[in-house]
């Protein structure tokens, strides 16, 4: 059997290699790559359905080889294309097959000709982009179908008016991305990577796909559980609804109908979830949800979704210190800072298996939370966290940096606000709003973080209160690591390398006290680093034994801090990233630096309910 599996593996790799050679595409191997890079099929990269929270049957994946060109920004478009690029991998990445930078003075163009699936015929055709960084214009058969600004939020265009008769359709996409030469949210991308700042990501970096819908169709849903009332509140945005149209909303526990409500389109339904099964980190139960548009009693459109009955809130312990509660009980939240970067795909994991590997390993190490740092992931990432019971703190990607940081709570010294232009502020507000809208229904997300370490921080109280009002069902960490203002639900300290916390008797009476970043213990493993030198951590080691000994000292200290009032902690970080070598895993995911079973043994001690009275 082993021999057969080996032969099949060799055959599979040979087929992928043949596909690549025939297409003219090849993986750039000038730097380290993950084990999944060689499994990418250029004819069908990332083939999975991309929107698990709102599923329809008629769709067409457009990932694959497109033509590309990089031309001066002043031109109207390319006169010829330079070669092939593998969508959806950013042009700077190894998996794109290009590996070139673009910059503020150039434009990136894409072109492909597709055969429209027969299943889409007679329907309105939507084109979806999971994410494109940054300013995008889409052309269908030579006509502009729409524009979008934002590098981290999905967008959709109805391209029906621009389609020609017959199956073949031409799609072009232009992208301009100034990276750190512009004020837009861009996360950790810089044109000159060093230290904690990484390679630019330009253009399409999530799945591109088509969907066939009725003229009247559901555009989005909003699902809010209330475990105290045993209810789920559901509303839906319906495009082109007609007078008298209804929404039928049905909740399922497997094949058992839990509740069903029929309401007017545009109204809000409250479903009763009797004998509710709560979602938790140890038992992540998910209910199924169906939403159907009815006209004269007949279905016009329908989507399948899911939800969970879970609650995140604050509550005082016996000493009057606020604690973060999951389903009205204190659960210490502990996990890594997770950048979500890949040496071969940059922002984009090579495969779904690669993406799930990170989450599975973190669960195996004993973590129950991930802080998603200065990046937004594809929808299937959040879906996998929902299914595996991984809590998630979601950062807003930063941009327009330049103000000063004060990392000490309660101290008036270095902190300043970024003086943003109206344009810069508009970019931030528009994208933060879009990110929250797109991720609202994922139960794994329990904390929104508008700012990190004062990076571009501005109007903190206003932005925090707006976020809290937009989503009262989650906690808001106004500025992880400062600058600190008396707003939001959390006081968050960053302290390297050892654990520390703000004094709970001062800060913990009205807010949860958390350690938003610590650790960063570094070990550059030979043969598994992004660069030959200038690799760093907050404290460096030469072997895994010494690294583990220091890590255990940190978790021992965390147990003491939990007793005093600490609600959560975030260790830096999941993997090495470019010049940072402070991951639990190397950047290529080929070496886990400390034994998984020993990490699990130490980490689960932090969830001992006896630590908090």
Q: What is the mean pLDDT of the chain?
A: 95
Per-residue pLDDT at 33 exceeds 90: yes
- Same domain? For 556 and 576 the reply is yes
Average pLDDT estimate for 458-468: 98
**Which pLDDT value is given to residue 289?**
98
335 and 234 together in one domain: no
Mean pLDDT to the nearest integer, 551-578 = 98
> Based on the structure, what is the number of domains in the chain?
3
Report the CATH number at residue 232: 2.60.40.10
Instruction: For residues 447-471, give the mean pLDDT.
Output: 97
Residue 166: CATH number of its domain: 2.60.120.260
Residues 153, 293 share a domain: no
In a domain, 502, yes or no: yes
Min mean pLDDT across 5-14, 42-51, 193-202, 499-508 is at 5-14
C-alpha–C-alpha distance, residues 359 and 494, integer Å: 23
> Is the pLDDT confidence value at 256 over 60?
yes
Residue 201: what pLDDT?
98
Compute the distance between CA of residue 20 and CA of residue 266 in angstroms, rounded to an integer: 49
**pLDDT at 24 (0 to 100):** 80
Residue 18 has pLDDT above 90, yes or no: no
- Please state, in angstroms and rounded to a whole number, the distance separating the CA atoms of residues 425 and 292: 38
Pair 69, 120 in one domain:
yes
- State which of 195, 213, 231 marks the end of a domain: 213
Look at residue 16 and give its three-state secondary structure.
helix
pLDDT of 23: 61
The verdict on 242 and 205 lying in the same domain is: no
Q: Is residue 302 domain-resident?
A: yes
Residues 468 and 584 in one domain: yes
For residue 431, the SS3 value is helix
Q: Bigger pLDDT: 29 or 346?
A: 346
How far is it, in rounded angstroms, from Cα 343 to Cα 292?
42
Task: Of 569, 564, 571, give the one whose Cα is nearest residue 506.
Answer: 564
Q: Which residue among 156, 189, 213 closes a domain?
A: 213
282 with 136, same domain: the answer is no
Mean pLDDT of 157-176: 96
Q: What is the pLDDT of residue 2?
A: 44
pLDDT tens string 79-133: 999 999 999 999 999 999 999 999 999 999 999 999 999 999 999 999 999 999 9
Q: Pairing between strand 59-61 and 333-338?
A: unpaired
Structure confidence by residue, pLDDT tens digits, 125-136: 999 999 999 999
| Per-residue model confidence (pLDDT) at position 167 | 87
Has residue 60 got a pLDDT over 50?
yes
Mark whether 294 and 422 lie in a shared domain: no
Contact 499, 482 (CB under 8 A): no
Asked if 159 and 283 sit in the same domain, the reply is no
Q: Which residue has the higher pLDDT, 408 or 16?
A: 408
| pLDDT at residue number 613 | 82
In a domain, 67, yes or no: yes
Residue 342 lies in a domain: yes
Mean pLDDT of 352-364: 98
Contact by Cβ (8 Å): 285, 254: no
CATH number for 390: 3.20.20.80
pLDDT over threshold 70, residue 9: no
Compute the distance between CA of residue 382 and CA of residue 522 in angstroms, rounded to an integer.
28
Choose one of 157, 180, 213: the last residue of a domain: 213
> Among residues 484, 453, 456, which one has the least CA distance to residue 572?
453
Q: Which residues contact 603 (CB under 8 A, 6 or more apart)?
A: 334, 365, 366, 367, 555
Residue appearing with tokens 């099949």 = 8
- Residues 394 and 417 both lie in one domain: yes
| Domain membership flag for residue 8 | no
What are all long-range contacts of 234-241, with beta carbons under 8 Å and residues at least 24 apart?
234/268, 234/269, 234/270, 234/271, 234/289, 234/291, 235/267, 235/268, 235/269, 236/265, 236/291, 238/265, 238/266, 238/293, 239/215, 240/215, 240/216, 241/216, 241/265, 241/266, 241/293
Looking at the predicted structure, is the pLDDT value of residue 12 above 60?
Answer: no
- Predicted pLDDT at 16: 52
The domain containing residue 544 runs over which residues?
331-611
Residues 576, 535: Cα–Cα separation, whole Å:
10
Q: How confident is the model at residue 207 (pLDDT cuts 50, 70, 90)?
A: very high
236, 203: one domain? no
Q: Is residue 511 part of a domain?
A: yes
Assigned token pair, 572: 């830096």
Q: Based on the domain organization, do 483 and 337 belong to the same domain?
A: yes
Report yes or no on 528 lying in a domain.
Answer: yes
Dig out the tokens for 168 from the structure.
Answer: 């073949």
Average pLDDT estimate for 577-597:
98
Specify the 3-state DSSP secondary structure of 221. Answer: strand
Residue 436: CB partners within 8 Å, gap ≥ 6? 448, 467, 470, 471
- Judge whether 316 lies within some domain: no
């Amino acid at each position: 059997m082993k021999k057969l599996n080996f032969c099949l593996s060799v055959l599979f790799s040979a087929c992928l290699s043949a596909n690549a050679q025939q297409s003219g595409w090849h993986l750039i191997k000038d730097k380290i790559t993950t084990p999944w890079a060689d499994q990418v099929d250029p004819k069908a990269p990332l083939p999975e359905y991309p929107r698990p929270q709102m599923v329809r049957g008629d769709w067409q994946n457009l990932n694959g080889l497109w033509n590309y060109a990089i031309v001066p920004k002043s031109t109207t478009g390319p006169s010829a294309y330079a070669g092939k690029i593998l969508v959806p991998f950013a042009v700077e990445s190894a998996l794109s097959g290009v590996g070139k930078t673009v910059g503020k003075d150039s434009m990136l163009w894409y072109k492909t000709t597709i055969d429209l699936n027969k299943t889409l015929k007679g329907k309105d055709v939507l084109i979806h982009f999971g994410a494109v960084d940054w300013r995008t214009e889409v052309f269908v058969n030579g006509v502009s179908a729409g524009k979008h600004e934002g590098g981290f939020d999905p967008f959709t265009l109805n391209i029906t008016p621009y389609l020609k008769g017959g199956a073949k359709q031409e799609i072009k996409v232009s992208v301009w991305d100034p990276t750190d030469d512009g004020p837009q949210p861009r996360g950790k991308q810089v044109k000159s990577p060093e230290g904690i700042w990484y390679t630019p990501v330009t253009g399409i970096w999530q799945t591109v796909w088509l969907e066939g819908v009725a003229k009247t169709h559901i555009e989005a849903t909003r699902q809010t559980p209330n475990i105290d009332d045993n209810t789920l509140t559901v509303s839906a945005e319906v495009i082109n609804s007609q007078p008298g149209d209804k929404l039928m909303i049905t909740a399922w526990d497997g094949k058992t109908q839990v509740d069903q409500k029929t309401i007017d389109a545009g109204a809000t339904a409250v479903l009763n979830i009797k004998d509710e099964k709560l979602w938790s980190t140890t038992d992540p139960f998910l209910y199924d949800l169906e939403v159907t548009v009815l006209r004269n009693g007949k279905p016009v459109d329908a989507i399948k979704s899911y939800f969970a009955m879970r609650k995140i809130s604050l509550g005082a312990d016996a000493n009057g210190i606020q604690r973060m509660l999951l389903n009205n009980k204190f659960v210490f939240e502990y996990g890594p800072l997770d950048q979500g970067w890949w040496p071969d795909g940059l922002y984009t994991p090579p495969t779904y298996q690669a993406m799930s590997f990170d989450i599975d390993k973190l669960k195996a190490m004993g973590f129950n939370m991930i802080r998603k740092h200065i990046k937004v992931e594809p929808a299937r990432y959040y879906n996998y966290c929902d299914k595996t019971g991984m809590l998630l703190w979601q950062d807003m990607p930063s941009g327009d940096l330049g103000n000063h940081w004060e990392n000490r709570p309660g101290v008036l010294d270095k902190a300043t606000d970024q003086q943003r232009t109206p344009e810069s502020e508009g970019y931030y507000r528009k994208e933060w709003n879009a990110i929250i809208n797109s991720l609202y229904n994922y139960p794994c997300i329990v904390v929104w973080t508008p700012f990190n370490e004062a990076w571009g921080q501005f109007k903190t109280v206003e932005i925090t209160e707006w976020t809290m009002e937009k989503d009262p069902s989650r906690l808001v960490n106004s500025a992880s690591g400062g600058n600190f203002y008396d707003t939001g639900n959390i006081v968050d300290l960053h302290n390297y390398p050892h654990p520390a916390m703000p004094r709970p008797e001062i800060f913990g009476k009205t807010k949860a006290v958390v350690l938003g970043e610590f650790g960063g213990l570094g070990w550059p493993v030979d043969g598994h680093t992004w660069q030959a030198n200038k690799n760093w951590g907050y404290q460096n080691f030469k072997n895994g034994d010494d690294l583990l000994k220091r890590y255990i000292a940190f978790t021992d200290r965390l147990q003491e801090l939990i007793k005093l009032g600490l609600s959560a902690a975030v260790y830096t970080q999941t993997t090495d990233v470019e010049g940072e070598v402070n991951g639990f895993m190397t950047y290529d995911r080929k070496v886990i630096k400390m034994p998984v079973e020993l990490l699990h043994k130490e980490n689960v001690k932090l969830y001992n309910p006896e630590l908090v009275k």
